[in-house]
């Protein structure tokens, strides 16, 4: 829940601190922001899968 709150807060701060004058510029900025979020989710998913594999292999030993 806290992570969601931080994401929403950072999105609002991102929008308020920009000097974007056109809707196209705002769309591009949001696209970059959302791309970073998706990349982070992808990397965290891979790391979680790797951690479960390590835990499984350590249980077998």
Confidence of residue 37 (pLDDT cuts 50, 70, 90): confident
**Residue 25: pLDDT band by 50, 70, 90 thresholds?**
low
3-state class of 40 per DSSP? helix
**Confidence at residue 60, expressed as pLDDT on a 0 to 100 scale:** 62
Cβ atoms of 26 and 18 closer than 8 Å:
yes
pLDDT for 1 beyond 50: no
Confirm whether pTM is higher than 0.85: no
Residue labelled with tokens 């931080």: 6
In this structure, is the dihedral angle defined by the CA atoms of residues 2, 27, 34 and 13, taken in order, positive or negative?
negative
Give the number of domains in the chain.
1
Task: Report pLDDT for 23.
Answer: 62
Asked whether 26 and 20 are in contact (CB, 8 A), the reply is yes
Q: Which residue has the tokens 């479960």?
A: 52
Domain range holding 9? 2-60
């Amino acid at each position: 829940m806290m992570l969601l709150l931080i994401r929403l807060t950072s999105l609002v701060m991102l929008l308020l601190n920009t000097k974007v004058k056109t809707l196209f510029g705002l769309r591009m900025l949001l696209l970059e922001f959302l791309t970073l979020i998706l990349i982070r989710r992808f990397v965290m998913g891979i790391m979680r899968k790797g951690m479960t594999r390590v835990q499984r292999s350590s249980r077998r030993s």
